[in-house]
Amino acid sequence: MSLAWPLFRITEQAALAAWPQTGCSDKNRIDGLAVTAMRQALNDIAIRGRIVIGEGEIDHAPMLWIGEEVGNGEGPEVDIAVDPIEGTRMVAMGQSNALAVMAFAPQGSLLHAPDMYMKKLVVNRQAKGVINLALSLTDNLRNVARALNKPLEDLRMVTLDKPRLKPAITQATQLGVKVFALPDGDVAASVLTCLQDNPYDLMYTIGGAPEGVISACAVKALGGDMQAELLDFCEAKGDNADNRLVAQQERQRCEEMGVAVNRVYSLDELAAGNDILFSATGVTGGDLVNGIQRVANGVRTQTLLIGSADRTCNIIDSLHSW
């Protein structure tokens, strides 16, 4: 796809729109600014695009809605997976590791699913083919350690520091696995797991489905492996009357969209083909890319652009002067 430059400019614009609100404590304002910037930038480029999975419904934030058509109506038909700001809470609280992220793929390539929770397991290319979400986390940790020729005590698992992941953290630490629990940001964790000089051997999380599909695009482009499973609200947040109502609505939407809750999806089912583009621009400073920085008469942005066709990773530093 000849859309690498437009894609990278879109995530830049979203990051630039959100960044001035760092520390404002208003997640919805940050999301709204990023969404507006992304939508405008998308509609300026020559694509016939459709949002197949987007962020926003879980926390009732502004959103690029699922099924929305974007682009100027000319050019290639494109599936788009988007999270205008991964880590709105981090921007709102002035914390690190917030990104503007988006992925492009040819029409029909990306999983079309509701915005709900998703269990995700990611490994780098050295452990490709050994993961299986139908097995326990303990079995997967043992299989990955065996594939990497490492003792369990040397295995490094990254996850999120969330109550729903406490059992997984306990399982891993009881085996001796080193666990790195991040406050948010499983897209960055997925990419870091698959980079050549990776700080982690695998990622196991329960987070948003949009971030899962976006992560799958990066994992595919980097030659790693991933499996995922859609979870309803009760499975992710606990069983009560209110959550059961949300879970029922989620399951109905999944049926309407042709996807299944509690079915294990392979990497090729999440992101098919080898013509995928992934872009992430830093908003606040992070482990994957730098955040936006003030310079004389403007700001500097840093973007990671990954293409699956040639498996290249480009770090792009841009100066924006005004």
Instruction: Give the residue ranges of the annotated binding site.
Output: 31, 55, 83, 86-88, 117, 162-164, 184-186, 208, 211
Q: Give Cα separations from 290 to 29, 199, 304 (angstroms).
A: 22, 17, 10
In eight-state DSSP terms, residue 263 is P
C-alpha 143/C-alpha 126 separation (Å) is 12
- Burial string for 182-214 (b: 16+ CB within 10 Å, else e) reads bebbbbbbbbbbbbeebebbbbbbbbbbbbbbb
User: 56 is written with which tokens?
Assistant: 């926003």
- Taken in order 210, 211, 212, 216, the sign of the CA dihedral is positive
C-alpha 66/C-alpha 82 separation (Å) is 10
3-state SS, residue 179: strand
Residues 213 and 101 sit within 8 Å (Cβ to Cβ): no
Annotated binding site for Mn(2+): 31, 55, 83, 86, 211
Phi, psi of 275 (to 5 degrees): -135, 60
Instruction: Tell me which residue of 132, 128, 117, 120 sits closest to 158, measured CA to CA.
Output: 120
Annotated binding site for substrate: 86-88, 117, 162-164, 184-186, 208
